[in-house]
């Protein structure tokens, strides 16, 4: 007569499930033990422990053969599924731990993404075919939150980060240019002094964009506060506001090379020294287990900007 194991509150272990799955496949303890590299007593003990854990008898033991009980047949099906899923989990972890493989959640600010990504993504996929980059275009505060929470692995930012535990690698520096309507009095000059901003209505991005803060910093240096009544959510909108005669604006050179082509009636003016600008960096958590890859990733970004001649100064 079979025993009736007591119900346990413990969860089955993977080794118990593997032992039972081997017995269910072979219907023979000695052969199952040989397959797993265990002694017969160790295998029998693991199966008995699983029965105690589940509170059900899974096998009938006789002197000549082993049979699965109805409960054993049901548990065998689920055990194979659990073990297959566990093997997949281990394989996935091993694949993702290989250098430049698996998903990489990369945050990129909106004033960089449309101008850097077109020159970066194809070379990146060619250099690291096993890497699956997932791009998150977000403003700086959301990106910093994402890095802190582990939602993002790394990010491309254009602001100095002083958060403890974050590492910044320089990618490139770029100048700001002044974008004005083609009929603006300064349009024919080609270059403009920084203090000329004091007498201009400088249009700004909406709050949350680091470019807004950087533009305001430049304006304050020369005694201008910018034009705070009109705000744009994107650089494309910002240049259209300029084209419409609402004011002028500062753009990073990489963005101006694209946006002033799209909008007719715009002129791009360089600044005389001192030329304002920004630094673009790759940021990641120092504790990230993939931190060793990010120096190479930064190198790949620099190489892409240099090869595709982005109008920046590569670090």
Please give the pLDDT value at position 263. 55
Share of the chain above pLDDT 70, in %: 91
Confidence of residue 1 (pLDDT cuts 50, 70, 90): very low
Cβ contact 265:242 at 8 Å: no
Cβ proximity of 68 and 51 under 8 Å: no
Q: What is the pLDDT of residues 243-296, one digit of tens each?
A: 998 989 999 999 998 888 765 689 999 999 999 999 999 999 999 888 888 999
Q: How many residues does the chain have?
A: 315
What 3-state DSSP class applies to 104? strand
Structure confidence by residue, pLDDT tens digits, 93-126: 665 566 688 889 999 999 999 999 999 999 999 9
Instruction: State the pLDDT at residue 90.
Output: 76
For the stretch 157-185, pLDDT in tens is 999 888 889 999 999 999 999 999 988 88
* CA–CA dist 293, 47 (Å, integer): 44
pTM of the model: 0.71
């Amino acid at each position: 007569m079979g025993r009736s194991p007591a119900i346990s509150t413990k969860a089955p272990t993977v080794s118990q499930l593997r032992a039972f799955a081997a017995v269910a496949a072979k219907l023979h303890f000695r052969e199952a033990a040989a397959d797993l590299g265990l002694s017969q007593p160790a295998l029998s003990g693991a199966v008995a422990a699983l029965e105690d854990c589940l509170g059900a008898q899974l096998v009938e033991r006789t002197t000549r053969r082993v049979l699965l009980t109805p409960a054993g047949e049901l548990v065998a099906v689920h055990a194979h599924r659990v073990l297959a899923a566990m093997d997949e989990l281990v394989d996935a972890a091993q694949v993702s731990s290989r250098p430049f493989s698996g998903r990489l959640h990369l945050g990129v600010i909106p004033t960089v993404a449309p101008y850097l990504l077109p020159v970066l993504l194809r070379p990146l996929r060619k250099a690291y075919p096993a890497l699956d980059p997932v791009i998150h275009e977000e403003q700086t505060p959301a990106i910093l939150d994402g890095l802190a929470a582990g939602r993002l692995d790394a990010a491309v930012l254009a602001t100095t980060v002083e958060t403890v535990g974050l590492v910044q690698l320089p990618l490139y520096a770029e100048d700001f240019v002044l974008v004005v309507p083609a009929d603006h009095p300064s349009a024919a000059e080609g270059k403009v002094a920084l203090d000329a901003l004091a007498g201009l209505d400088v249009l700004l991005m909406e709050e949350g964009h680091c470019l807004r803060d950087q533009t305001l910093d430049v304006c304050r240096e020369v005694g201008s506060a910018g034009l705070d009544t009109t705000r744009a959510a994107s650089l494309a909108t910002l240049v259209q506001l300029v084209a419409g005669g609402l004011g002028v604006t500062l753009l990073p050179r990489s963005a101006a090379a694209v946006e002033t082509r799209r909008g007719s009636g715009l002129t791009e003016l360089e600044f005389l020294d001192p030329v304002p600008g920004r630094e673009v960096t790759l940021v990641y958590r120092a504790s990230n287990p993939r931190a060793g890859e990010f120096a190479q990733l930064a190198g790949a970004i620099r190489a892409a900007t240099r090869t595709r001649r982005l109008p920046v100064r590569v670090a």
